[in-house]
Amino acid sequence: MKKKIYTCMDDYDPNSILIDDAIKEINKISKKINSFEYVNLIDSHNRTVYENIKSKLKVPNYNNSAMDGYALNIKDTKKNNIFKVVGISLAGTPFKRTVKKNECVKIMTGSVIPKNCNIVIMKEETELKKMDVVILTKNIRINQNIRFAGEDIKPNIVIIKKNHIINSSSMGLLASQGINKIKVFKKPRVSFFTSGDEVVPINKKLPYGKVHDSNRFTLVGMLSKYNVNVIDLGHAKDNVKDIKKKFSDAIKKSDIVISTGGVSVGDADYIKDVVKSLGDINFWKVAVKPGRPLAFGKIKDTIFFGLPGNPVSVMITFLLFVLPSIHMMSRRTHKIRTENAILESDLRKRQGRAEFQRGISREKDGKIFVKSVGEQGSGILSSMNNANCLIYLPVEQGSLKAKDLIKIIKFKDYI
């Protein structure tokens, strides 16, 4: 009996592995980056901290007022509610004399508490009469409206932990300590190239039978969203020599190399053979649509992803497979969030592989409704632009009817 040859038209292919198994393989050889570099605090946003960072200063570093009002000594309020205003304490310009009995100092929020003062009465609880202040409130307690030195941060404590991802609040916290440089893990270096004799640069006239190199720009856009150094290796023609040159360049300067096209079973699909000659292919073909002809392996110390050539397949396989590897190397949690949704249109699907159909979701009365964006071909790039979600249909799922419950991924949050 003639052995069946499985093609992209077949929904079931015994040579394909499941998505979860593919991700396990990817995680197995995607090693966390351990090398570090120093960056200026101003450039540190979204970087991963290499080691615990300890405080150097008290915050605040002096006792200061939490309110606009008047600073005085509480013991003088026991028999008196009229105080002479003898000066003012401004932020950055403190009142330097000692405050005497039945005297007070006008004080602004954040200003130094004058000597011999232990309370601040809010401006709204006083009445000014010429140079005297009358205290109207009787609700007075020691240290009220005073922020004490070290109340927020004491010296020599861990304020930022290893593996913390720097955000705007942690930048402000480090700045409050006068810390200008921090030690961070190096970014993963991700190189990529597109392939195919049919592909033409966007600044060239498009001959009949050719296509513009859209995958190059799709990859730049997706990679730019993440904390990586992007290396554009350009375009490779459909010949072994050109493809080998791209991989040789990639393994010298990148942790991950991505190619698009040339991983199927056509006469001009050389990517897999070149990778096999230089390194190892861990798997080829995943039970997913679009994106089945995906190759994954390793060339020396560089991880390799051979993405399909069709534009939609590039985006979906990047989301499903490349992104977990980038996050692993970057020491970041990888989790694609799914949400329940109610179908508004019938969907056709055959069992045998998972599908990610493009959809348009909307919210109404606290529920999410979704319908197909239309044609689902892997070459229909406009379907990704017009959609706002992916409708996830697992391997065992068949066709569905309107009102069925399914899961969606708001993919534009990730790519």
Mean pLDDT, rounded, of the chain? 92
Share of the chain above pLDDT 90, in %: 82
Q: In this predicted structure, what is the pLDDT of residue 14?
A: 75
| pLDDT tier at 380, thresholds 50, 70, 90 | confident
pLDDT in tens, 299-329: 999 999 999 988 999 999 999 999 999 999 9
Query: Is the predicted pLDDT of residue 267 greater than 60, yes or no?
Result: no
Question: Tokens 């001009």 — which residue?
Answer: 268
| pLDDT tier at 1, thresholds 50, 70, 90 | very low
Q: In this predicted structure, what is the pLDDT of residue 6?
A: 53
Of the listed ranges 92-96, 216-220, 382-386, 407-411, the least confidently predicted one is 382-386
pLDDT in tens, 356-379: 999 999 999 999 999 999 878 777
| pLDDT tier at 12, thresholds 50, 70, 90 | low
pLDDT in tens, 98-156: 999 999 999 999 999 999 999 999 999 999 998 999 999 999 999 999 999 999 999 99
| pLDDT tier at 28, thresholds 50, 70, 90 | very high
Q: In this predicted structure, what is the pLDDT of residue 2?
A: 46
| pLDDT tier at 266, thresholds 50, 70, 90 | low
pLDDT in tens, 53-79: 999 999 999 999 999 999 999 999 999
Query: Is the predicted pLDDT of residue 5 greater than 60, yes or no?
Result: no
Domains of the chain in sequence order: 19-30+187-329 (3.40.980.10), 36-59+151-185 (3.90.105.10), 66-147 (2.170.190.11), 339-413 (2.40.340.10)
If you average pLDDT over residues 165-189, what whole number do you get? 97
Query: Is the predicted pLDDT of residue 261 greater than 90, yes or no?
Result: no
